[in-house]
Structure 1
Amino acid sequence: MASSGTPSLLQRVSGSMVVFLGLLSVLTSVRCDEQVPVIMWTSEGISLPRQPPPTAGHIVGHQQLASYLEKALNIGPRNVVLFLQDKMSIEDFTMYGGAFGNKQDGVFPNLEEALQSSSSSLVLPAVSWPASNAVIGQLQDQLETSPLYMDPETLSQLRLNASSPALLVFRLPYGTGSDLLSAKEILSGNDEVIGQVMSIMKSQSVPYTAIYTGLQPSRKEAASLSVEAGLGGGRSLLQARGTHRDRWRDRERQQRVKEKPGVYPPVEFKEDDRTCMLLWAKGLTVSILRNNRWEEHDLTPSTFGEGVSPKLHGSNCDKSKGRLVLNYENVLGHRSFKLIFVMSERHYKVSARRWFTLDAVELEYDGTKARFNGSRNIYAPAEYSYRCKSVTSFRWPLLIPRSSKDPANQWRVSFDDFQIQGFNLKGSEFSYASDCAGFFSPGIWMGLLTSLLMVLVLTYGLHMIMQLLTMDRFDDPKGPGISVPQTE
């Protein structure tokens, strides 16, 4: 992590103003309504090698943020305290943090004190909000432990161990209304929570790494920008979307779909004016275990159908890897919910050909990640699509939770009449489908076994009949009866 006194810009100011002037230095060079700041520091007395902060105007993406976290956790404390605010933007610090000299009006005294006492701190002023949204999943992967959602009262009763990693998540609210004072009061309350948590951690004398970030930007324009980004955004994609050939192709495909009542088009993800991923299902269902019962939610109406355009931002694909992200809102009480299909294509020496596999199906909800592995059961030749009548995680499961501690154990997923293809697409239609049912289906095996049993019974009966012997003497009605002696 970068030391609070090493960057050239921050050497001119006191330690208590590190985070606020660091954020202010890039306020004019980045679109603050698209990014979320990420602030990291370690407990007092813990010094780590310096990580250089990004240059002014640079937007930190998913991979770069994962690199920052990995370097910090590989060397620093593996007890992580994550303060996850519902929304956060740079203006929250410039407006309410006393960054313009009005320190008496600042609402972050506890955050300032924590940064000043830490010898290793890092400020990332502009992180793409999809990357900050997935920070829990990244920490979960690197620490190999499930997140624990806490509050200061629960933390005071918990005894941490410096030798075993822990991911403690504190959800902080954020509210914006017509009265700007309401947001200021909420941020002040959040800072008090940070102060309480830091005090409890200090009393336990357990080294820790603290992170403060948000799930989404607090600017209202962020939502509309993310929707406009659509399938990944980019000027070339918007131009390609408006070409005559693309419009004609979409119109023709929609016309073919309308000719077949009850059939809707698949989800299609395009990149560089070509279709690189297709997904279709008769039903997409997710369920969560709450109070010893399963609560179910049907994602099909939000994914398929006439006039339905699922949000695919965060998706990407290339020749060997693909990631299809379906974004939803208000699913089973979670405001942000993602259904992610992770695919790959590689060459296997044993079969001497390339195969396409569905490596994982991931659920991301409010920053938490649940992962189901599917590479052992869901695969097809690289030139084909994959199709299966039923893909589930609970009934003849093809999707298996990654580990016994993974949050996926609290979830169920079910895909009916499922078909997917992530590579070697030609046009906007699926290639020949490789079905999950083998040549000998359960019905065929039952018929064969029943027939074999009947053949065995018939063979045994014929064998018994052939063993019968004809009597060598018969009764003559005109002659004396045959006397059979009872004793020898």
Structure 2
Amino acid sequence: VMAATAAARVRAGTRRAPELWQMRWLLLFLVAEAAAATEQQVPLVLWSSDRGLWAPAADTHEGHITSDMQLSTYLDPALELGPRNVLLFLQDKLSVEDFTAHGGVFGNKQDSAFANLENALDLAPSSLVLPAVDWYAVSTLTTYLQEKLGASPLHVDLATLRELKLNASLPALLLIRLPYTASSGLMAPREVLTGNDEVIGQVLNMLKSEDVPYTAALTAVRPSRVARDIAMVAGGLGRQLLQKQPASSVIHPPVSYNDTAPRILFWAQNFSVAYRGQWEDLTSLTFGVQELNLTGSFWNDSLAR
């Protein structure tokens, strides 16, 4: 009986083996598809000379992926209520890591490759930062803007822009391909970004001198996949896209869980807990503590605690 049972198990296992392999290949395919999809997001930065187009709460956190439907809910109010002149700055490659690696540290524009962009966001009555937008939404953005404005896109550069006479009441969709992207292979990423930022600054200064109301967007065709600088992040300089740090705030080093390298980094300006209606500020007991108890923390490829 035992031999017959074992043989039956072997035969059953033999029959199920192709099914198991098919399942494994399907899982591998789905994982590969998911990995490819996660690489197809780019940041989108919006700002306007009009006030009240986006609520501050509309800013999304890094890690959230904005779909095409969500993007339309952000764009519709700006296109229906805001200026009729819309500028689309389109780079070849851009990722949120470009901002964290080459942007101004805690609002210091002197060391930033995005000085003009950051200044525009500071001065804009309305602005919106979307760290990760789905590639499909970006690929159809020009067509979407054209349909909403009822105007064909005009491919312009600085020379042709000077010759245009923009009218506040007539819709215009200006597509500006930032020039340094096509031949950037021999240039350092920071030089590419700085050159593009200078073009943005010149265009905005031109509109300002002519007192032309506008809404502008900066995005890219594909991500640049710039790797995060682990040393910079571990040193407490990591920040969200174009995030500003008030000069008066205390910068706490992160809580870091390591094995062979930093695996989990936890930041907070304030860490407090409530117990029986009483709040206790644990910030000074959590950050900058040499012997913090991290018992129970762990990290692997699928889970971090």
TM class, shorter-length? 0.5 to 0.7
Answer whether contact 1:33 1:89 (CA < 8 A) is retained.
no
Counterpart-to-counterpart distance in 2, 1:55 and 1:102: 21
Deviation at residue 103 of structure 1 after TM alignment: 4.5
- AA at the equivalent of 1:204: E
Counterpart-to-counterpart distance in 1, 2:52 and 2:152: 25
- AA at the equivalent of 2:116: N
Q: TM-score, normalised by structure 1?
A: 0.36
Greater fraction strand: 1
Matching of residue 48 in structure 1 with residue 52 in structure 2: yes
Q: Which residue number corresponds to residue 112 of structure 2?
A: 106
Q: Which residue number corresponds to residue 152 of structure 1?
A: 158
Counterpart-to-counterpart distance in 2, 1:111 and 1:132: 19
SS at match of 2:52: coil
Deviation at residue 86 of structure 1 after TM alignment: 0.9
Answer whether contact 1:80 1:167 (CA < 8 A) is retained.
yes
Unaligned runs of 5+ in 1: 1-30, 222-488
- AA at the equivalent of 1:157: E
SS at match of 1:169: strand
SS at match of 1:59: coil
Counterpart-to-counterpart distance in 1, 2:118 and 2:212: 21
Deviation at residue 37 of structure 1 after TM alignment: 0.5
- AA at the equivalent of 2:54: R
Counterpart-to-counterpart distance in 2, 1:91 and 1:220: 6
Choose the corresponding residue for 1:182, options 188, 208, 214.
Answer: 188
Identify if the C-alpha distance between structure 1 residues 168 and 101 changes in structure 2 by more than 3 Å, giving closer, same or farther.
Answer: closer
Answer whether contact 2:154 2:173 (CA < 8 A) is retained.
yes
Bigger Rg, structure 1 or 2: 1
Structure 1 residues 202-248: Cα deviation after superposition (integer angstroms, max 9, x where no partner)? 11111000101111111299xxxxxxxxxxxxxxxxxxxxxxxxxxx
Answer whether contact 2:184 2:192 (CA < 8 A) is retained.
no
Identify if the C-alpha distance between structure 1 residues 188 and 55 changes in structure 2 by more than 3 Å, giving closer, same or farther.
Answer: closer
SS at match of 2:59: coil
- AA at the equivalent of 2:51: S
Answer whether contact 2:64 2:132 (CA < 8 A) is retained.
yes
Choose the corresponding residue for 1:209, options 200, 203, 215.
Answer: 215
- AA at the equivalent of 2:52: L
Answer whether contact 2:54 2:74 (CA < 8 A) is retained.
no
SS at match of 1:167: strand
- AA at the equivalent of 2:66: V
- Runs of 4 or more consecutive aligned structure 1 residues displaced over 6 Å after TM superposition: none
Identify if the C-alpha distance between structure 1 residues 217 and 38 changes in structure 2 by more than 3 Å, giving closer, same or farther.
Answer: same
Identify if the C-alpha distance between structure 1 residues 139 and 105 changes in structure 2 by more than 3 Å, giving closer, same or farther.
Answer: same
Answer whether contact 1:33 1:218 (CA < 8 A) is retained.
no
Answer whether contact 1:48 1:76 (CA < 8 A) is retained.
no
- AA at the equivalent of 2:151: T
Answer whether contact 1:39 1:122 (CA < 8 A) is retained.
yes
Answer whether contact 1:133 1:214 (CA < 8 A) is retained.
no
- AA at the equivalent of 2:42: V
Q: TM-score, normalised by structure 2?
A: 0.57
Answer whether contact 2:42 2:133 (CA < 8 A) is retained.
yes
Structure 1 residues 8-65: Cα deviation after superposition (integer angstroms, max 9, x where no partner)? xxxxxxxxxxxxxxxxxxxxxxx9733100000012xx21243322355321011111
Matching of residue 95 in structure 1 with residue 97 in structure 2: no
Structure 1 residues 230-245: aligned runs within 5 Å: none
Choose the corresponding residue for 1:57, options 49, 52, 63.
Answer: 63
Counterpart-to-counterpart distance in 1, 2:123 and 2:88: 18
SS at match of 1:197: helix
Choose the corresponding residue for 1:168, options 150, 168, 174.
Answer: 174
Answer whether contact 2:61 2:131 (CA < 8 A) is retained.
no
Counterpart-to-counterpart distance in 2, 1:36 and 1:138: 17
Deviation at residue 183 of structure 1 after TM alignment: 1.4
Counterpart-to-counterpart distance in 1, 2:63 and 2:191: 30
- AA at the equivalent of 1:123: V
Choose the corresponding residue for 1:86, options 92, 96, 99.
Answer: 92
Say which is worse superposed, 48-57 or 156-165, in terms of deviation.
48-57
- AA at the equivalent of 2:157: D
Counterpart-to-counterpart distance in 2, 1:41 and 1:147: 19
Let me know the Cα RMSD of the aligned residues.
2.3
Identify if the C-alpha distance between structure 1 residues 56 and 182 changes in structure 2 by more than 3 Å, giving closer, same or farther.
Answer: closer
Deviation at residue 95 of structure 1 after TM alignment: 1.0
Unaligned runs of 5+ in 2: 1-36, 228-305
Structure 1 residues 344-363: aligned runs within 5 Å: none
Percent of residue pairs bearing the same amino acid type: 52
Q: Which residue number corresponds to residue 133 of structure 2?
A: 127
